[in-house]
Amino acid sequence: MPKVVYVSPAGDTREIDVPAGMTVMAAALKNGIDGIVAECGGVCMCSTCHVFVDHQFFDRLPSAQDTEEAVLEIAAVERQPTSRLSCQIKVTDDLDGLIVRIPEKQR
Amino acid sequence: MISGTVIVGTGQAGFQTAASLRTEGYQEEITLIGEEPHIPYQRPPLSKSFPLGAQEVESIELRPKRFYQDHQINLLVGERVSAIDRAAKQVKLESGAHYQYDKLVLAVGARNRTLSISGADFDEVLYLRSLNEAVIVKERLNIAQEIAVIGGGFIGLELAAVASTLGKSVTVLEALPRLMSRAVAPVISDFYRELHTSKGVKVVCGASVRKIEGSSGKVRGVLLNDGTRLPAELVLIGVGVTPNIELAQNAGLHTANGIAVNEYLQTDDENIFAIGDCAEHPCEFASARIRLESVQNAADQAQCVAATIAGRRNVYRALPWFWSDQFEVKLQMAGISNGHDCTVSRGNAEGRKVSVFYFKESQLIAIDSINRPLDHMIGRKLIANRIRLTPQQAADESVDLKQMANSSVTSRG
């Protein structure tokens, strides 16, 4: 099963086994990762599941759609070049080891 | 006796209050009490992805069961609060138990308005609000072939889109002259009528329903006052909700179109708050006291009250926003358009990418967007920060809204 590494704002890491097909957001909620709020439930209406994707993985993700790009404009912590909404990242075997950093705040 | 905060209602508002209290560092007891048998779940998917079969029950839970233990939240499901004793600062449960509170948060929601027409009591006449109801709707949608939806608002239209996507023959019956007329401008209503019609949904506006007809315990159709008969085996009704004010009313709290609260979301008892669908609150973006039914309103009011209870007294002033998914189109709404005196469109409806900007006394008050997500997100900043934007600028696609939103010149000064 692919692994996803969540890095907290303080730098603590947690490695979670995530079934392929599940989103990085859903896996975070399921495993009690703090800092992923997911207020709208994963429909690109809020920015509360914002993450910074590690550079080595960013280019391997399918590009963000217009709806996601728009939401990143209102993120509570300003977007960076590797910002994504974790509700839009589906875990695949190819993404094994994916590292995402959680911003200081989500609202 | 240990007290802390008691939250009545396990919807989005109740859940978020409990979660945010812990994020705010609140150390006292938290008791979250709900009538429904389920742990807190998301309501929006119930009329969207859930009946399409795309989601299991677990996937719409707001958090897994473990979350409540991990955060020392005492979660009681399937329990009905029957009374509030303000003098003793206790809530009483129907089961006989009672809980002491320092602070009480009423997040008791709303219930469906029901139709009292003849035939409304057939088994195949369904309403949708709770997960249990959604499970039944999903099951019956799979069996029935001809479906009538009474109510052309968000819930009715989302259900119509789902039923149509499932290959059903669908008729939408709306009493008013156009769809979603309380919420959106005519150009948006027209767009959605066209969208539904193009997918094979029959839309009847100005429809006055006389009765639901049936025989041998089965629904056969809907009869309109003009004599039109529409065949249906299943009737879904979405004609709005009534706020649950009785608990507050019986406790002597002030109620109107909802439980009345001030700008801190406090009732006339300073230890009792009301939030979410049940709360009538002053809204600076509507310049009025209003009651909203939305995830944003529930979550932001919960966050505001949690901060206040945790010791950071907080005026509620979040910008309202909403969305609706129908077929492959997302409608995104920011602000409150009531009372507008001018609208302009940006983009065009024929190209299926359009935003409507609503102005009142030259001030931008709301934006509805179809397939123009950036207008919506930037629009939230424009409205919330009262950025000066003219109707001419709004309609002109060469005007960079993002740049305007990031400028600091506001009409508020």
Cβ–Cβ below 8 Å for B380 and A44: no
| Disruptive mutation site among A33, A40, A49, A85 for chain B (greatest number of B CBs within 10 Å) | A40
Closest CA to B353 of B336, B381, B375: B375
CATH of domain B113-237: 3.50.50.60
How far apart CA B8 and CA B76 sit, in angstroms, is: 10
Query: B287-300, pLDDT tens digit by residue?
Result: 999 999 999 999 99
Query: B43-63, pLDDT tens digit by residue?
Result: 999 999 999 986 788 889 999
How far apart CA B250 and CA B141 sit, in angstroms, is: 39
How far apart CA A89 and CA A51 sit, in angstroms, is: 10
In eight-state DSSP terms, residue B387 is: B
* A55/B contact by beta carbon, under 8 A: no
Residue B144 has pLDDT above 50, yes or no: yes
Domain ranges for chain B: 5-111+247-309, 113-237, 328-406
Query: A10-62, pLDDT tens digit by residue?
Result: 999 999 999 999 999 999 999 999 999 999 999 999 999 999 999 999 999 99
* A26/B contact by beta carbon, under 8 A: yes
* A19/B contact by beta carbon, under 8 A: no
Could you please report the per-residue DSSP string of B208-267?
A: -EEEEEEETTEEEEEEETTS-EEE-SEEEE---EEE--HHHHHTT--EESEEE--TTSB-
Closest CA to B43 of B17, B64, B62: B62
Residue B409 has pLDDT above 60, yes or no: no
Query: What is the number of structural domains in chain A?
Result: 1
Cβ–Cβ below 8 Å for B373 and A69: yes
Global pTM value: 0.96
Cβ–Cβ below 8 Å for A73 and B374: yes
3-class DSSP state of B23: helix
In eight-state DSSP terms, residue A90 is: B
Q: Would residue A9 count as lying in a domain?
A: yes
Assigned CATH topology for domain B5-111+247-309: FAD/NAD(P)-binding domain (3.50.50)
Q: ipTM score here?
A: 0.95
Chain B residues with a Cβ under 8 Å from any Cβ in chain A: 16, 42, 44-45, 59-60, 63-64, 66-67, 70, 295-296, 299, 303, 321, 323, 325, 330, 332, 373-374, 376-378, 380-381, 402
Beta bridge partners of B323: B332
Closest CA to B333 of B302, B358, B359: B358
* A43/B contact by beta carbon, under 8 A: yes
Query: B109-130, pLDDT tens digit by residue?
Result: 999 999 999 999 999 999 999 9
Q: Domain holding A72: CATH number?
A: 3.10.20.30
Confidence category of residue B413, pLDDT binned at 50, 70, 90: very low
* A41/B contact by beta carbon, under 8 A: yes
Class of domain B328-406: alpha beta
